Structure 1
Amino acid sequence: MSTPTSDDYVVRAIRPEEWAAVKQLRLDALRDPVAHIAFLETFDDALARPDSFYQERATRSGEGSDTARQFIAEAPDGSWAGTVTVLIERAGTTDWAGHPVERRQGHVVGVFVRPEHRGNGLIKTLFDAGVSWAWQQSAERVRLFVHADNARAQGAYRKAGFGPSGLVVSFSKDEAENELEFVLER
């Protein structure tokens, strides 16, 4: 069997009733060897959350939501190969980290592609879906944060059209744990 290309996947929004698969994909992502620099949540924290948390998350970011959308890539065998979530941030508000939002924008979070599906363009296909949805929601730009030491992710984001804005923030008390903002302007 040949390795799938990005054209072999179905990229779509999750459905609220798929909350258990959303939970499983999140747990799998948090087991990734670089999860400690890619996510702000730990596996143990995610595992301890009640099912109602994932049910609410799937409802808030599933089909029909205009404030958040989680996209998944279904492999030819029906398994979920990867995911990306885009949150809409409104100008004049503060983001999830307490920083001011200056303009309407999409904020990409929860990026994950299973190792066996990496290197075939799937990450760009997921990003294209998320960015397209953000533009439909009148976003002026789309941003994400990536750990300064996560070169693999930075490379993937650059291939998807994102570049560093120059903003560097720390989401922990350890000032060495810097996150770089990458943006894609409309």
Structure 2
Amino acid sequence: MRYEIRPVAPAEWKQSRALRLEALLDPVASVAFARTYDEESAMSDDQWRRRASGEGAQQVVAVRVGGDGDEWVGLAVVVAERADYYSINSVYLKPEVRGSGVAEKLFAAAIAWTWDRADRVHLWVHEKNPRAQAFYRRLGFRPTGRTMASPLDAGYTEYEYALERA
């Protein structure tokens, strides 16, 4: 199986929306994302177009190529929250490609995009998501010591991780 990792083009907003909404229905969505399916499915087409436009953010997609056509199987978004603060958000891989190495390639592309703009990239991870925590550590991300209440349930904590450019 061959996978292509590339930026999302603005004209691909419908595919981006479909994969994001699929992600929000995943059984682990409550510990992986800061928004809900109901919130994002109510967004207008214009909001989805802006999200895919690359303005202040870069979406990176993993596409399974060949066979019966191309299929979007993974997505990560780097957001420029401030001039000096870039964060990776909205990471999702379809269950059948998890553990295949696609996540590493998706992150490599997201991080490479960030290095053209900053020397550090951040992300937040839910306390009940040890698989993601282990993956981020394996990539070199380390806890910063900053925490916040989980956006979907303030009874849980999210931890900030960061990766410094070597």
Instruction: Say yes or no: does 1:119 pair with 2:113.
Output: no
Instruction: Say yes or no: does 1:177 pair with 2:166.
Output: no
Report what 1:81 is aligned to.
Answer: 73
Paired with 2:77 and 2:139, the residues of 1 have a C-alpha distance of 15
Gapped runs of 5+ residues in structure 1? Answer: 92-103
Report what 1:31 is aligned to.
Answer: 25
Report what 2:119 is aligned to.
Answer: 140
> Cα offset for 1:161?
1.9
1:32-71 maps to which residues of 2 (within 5 A)?
A: 32-59=26-53, 61=54, 65=55, 67-71=56-60
1:13-28 maps to which residues of 2 (within 5 A)?
A: 13-28=7-22
Gapped runs of 5+ residues in structure 2? Answer: none
TM-score (norm 2): 0.91
Q: Deviations over 1:65-100 (max 9, x none)?
A: 5x3110001112311110111112335xxxxxxxxx
Q: Deviations over 1:29-76 (max 9, x none)?
A: 0011010111111111111111111111111x2xxx5x3110001112
- Indicate the percent of aligned positions where both proteins have the same amino acid: 40
Count matched residues: 162
Which of the pair is proportionally richer in strand?
A: 2
Paired with 1:37 and 1:50, the residues of 2 have a C-alpha distance of 25
TM-score (norm 1): 0.81
What's the Cα RMSD here? Answer: 1.6
